[in-house]
Amino acid sequence: MTTQSANSTLDAVKCFAERFSLMLDERATFDAKTPPMLADAIRYSLLAPGKRLRPFLVYECGALCGADEDACFAPAAALEMIHTFSLIHDDLPAMDDDDLRRGRPTNHKVYGEAVAILAGDALVTLAFETLATKTVNREHVASLVVALAHASGDKGMIGGQTLDIEGQKTPADNPPAQSLEAVRQIHSTKTGALFECACRMGGIVANADDDTLERLATFGLNLGLAFQIADDLLDVTASATDLGKKSGKDAKKGKQTFPAVVGIEQSREHAESAVAAAIEAIRGISGDTSRLESLAEFAYRRDR
Amino acid sequence: MTTQSANSTLDAVKCFAERFSLMLDERATFDAKTPPMLADAIRYSLLAPGKRLRPFLVYECGALCGADEDACFAPAAALEMIHTFSLIHDDLPAMDDDDLRRGRPTNHKVYGEAVAILAGDALVTLAFETLATKTVNREHVASLVVALAHASGDKGMIGGQTLDIEGQKTPADNPPAQSLEAVRQIHSTKTGALFECACRMGGIVANADDDTLERLATFGLNLGLAFQIADDLLDVTASATDLGKKSGKDAKKGKQTFPAVVGIEQSREHAESAVAAAIEAIRGISGDTSRLESLAEFAYRRDR
């Protein structure tokens, strides 16, 4: 990959993030039936600056398989709602106890713990409501709901967060024997599942065939894995200013991460393998896959 | 209503609760993809003894409008999952901080706060997954998802819980000026919305017409209101042993309840009006509505 194509992909992601945030802002409005405090707490986190990578993947995979742009909004918005819910709940005192997120105070620091829990809860129901009411082709609703529930629930992201939290129960200065398989399992579910779902949903709204859906899913899962490994590496190597959140926290908490288990160099190798697997999967789909390939490279190179 | 018909309705509710709990137990199984601790926490609360009133309403309203029994399971299970999620989260230290629920330690007392939050979260996604995968007629999925999301989310139950929590922020010995309208709003959303949804869903799986759906919804909303007023009255008048949870807690916390705002006698009058409105709505539907009418009477007479 040339630096030029990497930069152009990065520009595309940034442009999309701005555009998508405006769309979310416009459509995530609340009427008098929603308590103003709850609406504020939801909007505070949902409209916070973010990379919008999961929505980007829905649109890119949708476009690759011939979906209309309009068809991508509902699944993209739903995914970002689920992602935002997970950030709010993960930051809670009972979970990761974080004060800072994307450079701003976390939701519970601003609105209190009770409202933060409820705002997270409401984002989950809002995600499914969005799928059911804003999906362009009503015949896609059931498949989209299944994909989202599966990826975000007990078998996916929420399951992964449970494993993550459970893994931290021993004192940080005396971490448990961690296995690579355990870490891979946490990351595949906690991060990989939503990336996989984003790509699959892009295919669903494009009426893609089963083989294509599986290729998109494999691409997304491996991209998510590479992305999470890069995130863990950043936590080790970068400063809080670069991150917009505290760095070095994973190690202090005894979190199970790739760098903690296999070290920095081997973590980079695992990320590279995941990127290679992602690219191999996506190349089996006809059409221009160059931007998705370049995104996979970017996910992993973020820590350089 | 005669005592005999009241008893026979109560028996029917109890029988149903046992049968439905077995069905839930059989179907709410988890495979290796769900972390065992999370599966345990979910099952601990979902399978705890309960009245299963919301599922009962789905089946009763479904039967009234000619639905097959099989068609009622998915919406009934989904509703009970959402209800269970709300109990787990409402009991959290940051919310109502309760140690006892249905006579047993609350979820976070057994599994810790983090896992309790995640078990609640997972029940929401599981509810929507259940609707999308277990609904007999796939054409009903979108309507059921919209109904459930609407009733449980920011405009419904979660919104109501937010108002409830917000209303308790002033010290208990110096409660804020509470209006009847505010209390009605909290109860209509926090409790009424799921009862309304249960009845509506029974109609949806029976392909009921719009007028019938609205009648079912009005019945459910008013039944929920009567039920919640009776619950608040019980908190004032009953002992902890009767309740299976601490009594007199509402007043101590400065909770906005009907008895706190208008006193016991007027609260009973409001409950009676709600029962009357419920019965009037359901009588407009052809078929045998006697058991639903008797259930409405029972909801309100619980505190006697």
The series of mean pLDDT values per 10 residues for chain B, 304 residues long, is 71 94 90 94 96 96 97 98 98 96 94 98 98 96 98 97 84 61 92 97 98 98 94 78 59 80 92 96 95 88 59
Q: Distance between CA B187 and CA A84 in Å, rounded?
A: 28
The pLDDT, as a whole number, for residue A304 is 46
CB pairs under 8 A between A and B: 157
The pLDDT, as a whole number, for residue B244 is 55
The pLDDT, as a whole number, for residue B282 is 96
The letter for the amino acid at B16 is F
Q: Distance between CA B113 and CA B261 in Å, rounded?
A: 33
Question: A35: which 2 tokens?
Answer: 């308590």
Q: Do B149 and A126 touch (CB under 8 A)?
A: yes
Query: Mutate which of B42, B95, B108, B129 to disrupt the A interface (most A C-beta within 10 Å)?
Result: B129
User: Residue B250 contacts by C-beta under 8 Å, 6 or more apart in sequence?
Assistant: B232, B235, B236, B257, B260
Q: Do B165 and A121 touch (CB under 8 A)?
A: no
Q: Do A122 and B154 touch (CB under 8 A)?
A: yes
Chain B closest-CA separation from residue A186 CA (Å): 10
The pLDDT, as a whole number, for residue A234 is 87
Contact A76, A68 (CB under 8 A): no
Q: Do A142 and B146 touch (CB under 8 A)?
A: no
Output the pTM of the full model: 0.94
The pLDDT, as a whole number, for residue B75 is 98
Per-residue HEC secondary structure of chain A comes to: CCHHHHHHHHHHHHHHHHHHHHHHHHHCCCCCCCCHHHHHHHHHHHCCCCCCHHHHHHHHHHHHCCCCHHHHHHHHHHHHHHHHHHHHHHCCCCCCCCCEECCEECHHHHHCHHHHHHHHHHHHHHHHHHHHHHCCCHHHHHHHHHHHHHHHCCCCHHHHHHHHHHHCCCCCCCCCCCCHHHHHHHHHHHHHHHHHHHHHHHHHHCCCCHHHHHHHHHHHHHHHHHHHHHHHHHHHHCCHHHHCCCCCHHHHCCCCCHHHHHHHHHHHHHHHHHHHHHHHHHHCCCCCCHHHHHHHHHHHHCCC
**Backbone phi, psi, residue A101, to 5°:** -150, 125
Question: Could you state, in order of their start, the residue ranges of all structural domains in chain B?
Answer: 3-301
Q: Around A129, how many Cα atoms within 13 Å sit in the side-chain half-sphere?
A: 19
The CATH number of domain A3-301, selected from 3.40.50.10880, 1.10.600.10, 1.10.3720.10, 3.40.710.10: 1.10.600.10
Low-confidence ranges of chain A (pLDDT < 50): 1, 173-174, 303-304
